[in-house]
Chains A and B, each alone.
Chain A
């Protein structure tokens, strides 16, 4: 083998090309190994169809096990629409061996390669799929003969300028499927598909067990079947796109304030709480708000049907029916028990894509985890979170919290770590009543309020009430209202008090002024009196002096003494 990177043929399946660092090796053999039902044929059809659409070239599909009609039927309903390519770019050959065929002596597979050469030249194909090559290889008795035939196929590819995919059944001996044994050296890329049925779902995984000319991780990538065929639950290579700073309204203005402006676009928020705490209502508020703002939403219900949900939400003033009628809202009722998590995920993603949704609500997301395979459910939820981020779609997942849930295995603990924001709804029991509470446990990328608020739901809508604390406890419901009333009463009292005081002061002032005026008058009177008295005294003195003078004059004696008392004035 020559050095340097091996040229690759992009398959057009983004995740597959990423995992294989470019696609399938050009003019080389790629083997898809797996047990029956692991999805080997599906993946080979998926690659064939997406590659054909990408390159415009043809694919020859050698159907060695299943009839071509079955293969095309089983691959129908996927977005790559194999049936539409059939006969144009997808050329299936029914090469199922005749069951009455008689083996007599040694042989090789050059006959089959001649058949395929003819078809490839006829159709201008660049890719050949050998579906179920193990059935034909199995005719050969020894491993040495089998590897010789694989080598022959490899050489044929180079001669014909074709690339090939082989699907083959592999036995699984306890461990993962990876045993190609002595055949492996002839093959450039080996992809092992695994499938395990569990109570609650089908676990699928893909591993690259060999990739010549490039480094590869042999870790298992969980898969599920979506409308695009096989898809990894987790996008290989981390976050598909950076987080947005844009905000999306929650449908409740006061809540938006708490969140720092709303939910972050492309983020996923978890809304958890016991039954009846308002999860569904808050979720529906969000949905309605998105639709009213011109967005497109997918709202998944598990616990109830869409019609029932519409009725329930109407009672709190939310009109989902109008948004559904306008096409902005796609309401879907799913049954959690019937399908496994991967099936449910597939349906949700299909709805998101066809609706081109800007918002997704899954109420409750716990239904994805129902059925035992917690890993699968968790991966499905992780996938939803990634999908939301990649699309810039804002997702709201509700989760039921039951009393006595084991926190280590509950949906809550699993989802709360995956979600970007976590809003806890609850009840506060106090003074003989239960009131709804809301608090933001975490909100990545947001300066948010940590305070617990009271969530109030009425026929007019929902809002958050201000927080009253008394002695370190948040007051809710009647206690809050009492507190509010008390404050109003105290306020009124204080106001009254103030006014009374004011009046009193005014009265006092008036009184003082009156008194002042009175005293002024009094002093005036006194002054007048004084003046009168002085005048009278002066008059009296003058009169007395006059009288004394007249007496002295009349006595013709001494000159009268000034101011002297009577009798003593005489010298």
Chain B
């Protein structure tokens, strides 16, 4: 079964951080994949700026999706349309990134 790493970079408890996490959770649910398909990591760059540096982060919230084949794709924003994000998540999982 294929899986994908999902890293969400947020900056502290800003409203956009909460919105992004909420929208991500909704999108994952919308894919209908079994639990554990997406390995989610939440990174607060204010507490862990070294992770931001490591990623060369520009904006928050940012989502890095890494497919099983190692391909990584960046998504910037708070995902105000979770249905779009659900589609992208599925694509990454199927090895066909958008």
Q: Which parts of B1-23 form the interface with A (CB within 8 Å)?
A: 9, 11-12, 14, 16, 19-20, 23
Least distance between B73 CB and chain A CB atoms (Å): 7
On whether the beta carbons of B74 and A102 are closer than 8 Å, the reply is: yes
Q: With A93-B56, A100-B73, A111-B62 in contact, is A106–B49 under 8 Å at CB?
A: no
Most chain A CB within 10 A, of B23, B61, B62, is at: B61
CA distance in complex: A424, B23 (Å): 84
Instruction: List residues of chain B with CB within 8 A of the CB of A375.
Output: none
- Binary interface encoding of chain A residues 138-178 relative to chain B, with 1 for a CB under 8 A from any of its CBs, else 0: 01000000000000000000000000000000000000000
Main secondary structure of the interface of A (DSSP, over half): mixed
Instruction: List residues of chain A with CB within 8 A of the CB of B85.
Output: 104
B49 is contacted by which of A100, A105, A107, A114 (Cβ under 8 Å)?
A: A114
Least distance between A8 CB and chain B CB atoms (Å): 28
User: What residue in chain B is nearest A100 (Cβ atoms)?
Assistant: B73
User: What residue in chain A is nearest B77 (Cβ atoms)?
Assistant: A105
User: What residue in chain B is nearest A106 (Cβ atoms)?
Assistant: B78
Least distance between B60 CB and chain A CB atoms (Å): 4
CA distance in complex: A94, B55 (Å): 11
B9 is contacted by which of A103, A105, A111, A119 (Cβ under 8 Å)?
A: A111
CA distance in complex: A352, B45 (Å): 52
Asked if B42 CB lies within 8 Å of chain A CBs, one says no
On whether the beta carbons of A103 and B57 are closer than 8 Å, the reply is: no
User: What residue in chain B is nearest A121 (Cβ atoms)?
Assistant: B49
Instruction: List residues of chain B with CB within 8 A of the CB of A43.
Output: none
Instruction: List residues of chain A with CB within 8 A of the CB of B57.
Output: 111-112, 114-115
- Binary interface encoding of chain A residues 70-109 relative to chain B, with 1 for a CB under 8 A from any of its CBs, else 0: 0000000000000000000000011101101111111111
24 of the cross-chain contacts (CB-CB < 8 Å) are A101-B76, A102-B88, A103-B75, A104-B81, A105-B23, A105-B79, A105-B81, A106-B16, A107-B62, A108-B14, A108-B60, A109-B59, A111-B45, A111-B52, A111-B58, A114-B49, A114-B53, A115-B45, A115-B52, A115-B57, A118-B49, A118-B52, A136-B59, A139-B59
Asked if A488 CB lies within 8 Å of chain B CBs, one says no
User: What residue in chain A is nearest B97 (Cβ atoms)?
Assistant: A100
Least distance between B1 CB and chain A CB atoms (Å): 25
On whether the beta carbons of B53 and A118 are closer than 8 Å, the reply is: yes
On whether the beta carbons of A110 and B60 are closer than 8 Å, the reply is: yes
CA distance in complex: A105, B80 (Å): 5
Asked if A117 CB lies within 8 Å of chain B CBs, one says yes
CA distance in complex: A93, B55 (Å): 11
CA distance in complex: A107, B19 (Å): 11
CA distance in complex: A106, B77 (Å): 5
B58 is contacted by which of A102, A115, A117, A118 (Cβ under 8 Å)?
A: A115
- Binary interface encoding of chain B residues 26-50 relative to chain A, with 1 for a CB under 8 A from any of its CBs, else 0: 0000000000000000000110011
Least distance between A155 CB and chain B CB atoms (Å): 13
On whether the beta carbons of B45 and A114 are closer than 8 Å, the reply is: yes
CA distance in complex: A107, B16 (Å): 7
Instruction: List residues of chain B with CB within 8 A of the CB of A93.
Output: 53, 56
Instruction: List residues of chain A with CB within 8 A of the CB of B55.
Output: 115
Instruction: List residues of chain B with CB within 8 A of the CB of A95.
Output: 56, 58
Instruction: List residues of chain A with CB within 8 A of the CB of B46.
Output: 110, 114
Closest 9 CB pairs of A and B: A105-B77, A114-B45, A110-B11, A111-B60, A118-B53, A118-B49, A114-B52, A111-B57, A105-B80
Least distance between A455 CB and chain B CB atoms (Å): 70
Least distance between B55 CB and chain A CB atoms (Å): 8
Most chain A CB within 10 A, of B9, B16, B53, B61, is at: B53
CA distance in complex: A103, B45 (Å): 19
On whether the beta carbons of B59 and A102 are closer than 8 Å, the reply is: no
Main secondary structure of the interface of B (DSSP, over half): mixed
Size category of the binding interface on chain B? 35 or more
Instruction: List residues of chain A with CB within 8 A of the CB of B84.
Output: 104
Least distance between A233 CB and chain B CB atoms (Å): 38
On whether the beta carbons of B52 and A103 are closer than 8 Å, the reply is: no
A102 is contacted by which of B12, B23, B50, B75 (Cβ under 8 Å)?
A: B75
Instruction: List residues of chain A with CB within 8 A of the CB of B58.
Output: 95, 97, 109, 111-112, 115, 136
On whether the beta carbons of B79 and A108 are closer than 8 Å, the reply is: no
Least distance between B43 CB and chain A CB atoms (Å): 10
Extra contacts besides A100-B73, A102-B75, A110-B45 (19): CB < 8 Å? A93-B53, A102-B76, A104-B80, A104-B81, A104-B84, A105-B19, A105-B77, A105-B81, A106-B78, A106-B80, A107-B59, A107-B60, A110-B11, A110-B12, A110-B46, A110-B59, A111-B11, A111-B62, A112-B59
On whether the beta carbons of A119 and B53 are closer than 8 Å, the reply is: yes
On whether the beta carbons of A101 and B74 are closer than 8 Å, the reply is: yes
Instruction: List residues of chain B with CB within 8 A of the CB of A119.
Output: 53
Asked if B98 CB lies within 8 Å of chain A CBs, one says yes
On whether the beta carbons of A103 and B60 are closer than 8 Å, the reply is: no
CA distance in complex: A139, B77 (Å): 11
Most chain B CB within 10 A, of A97, A101, A102, A109, is at: A102
CA distance in complex: A118, B12 (Å): 16
User: What residue in chain A is nearest B73 (Cβ atoms)?
Assistant: A100
Least distance between B13 CB and chain A CB atoms (Å): 12
On whether the beta carbons of A117 and B11 are closer than 8 Å, the reply is: no
Q: With A110-B14, A111-B9, A114-B46 in contact, is A98–B59 under 8 Å at CB?
A: no
CA distance in complex: A103, B59 (Å): 10
Instruction: List residues of chain A with CB within 8 A of the CB of B62.
Output: 107, 111
CA distance in complex: A101, B55 (Å): 14
Least distance between A231 CB and chain B CB atoms (Å): 34
On whether the beta carbons of A114 and B11 are closer than 8 Å, the reply is: yes
CA distance in complex: A111, B56 (Å): 9
Instruction: List residues of chain B with CB within 8 A of the CB of A98.
Output: 74
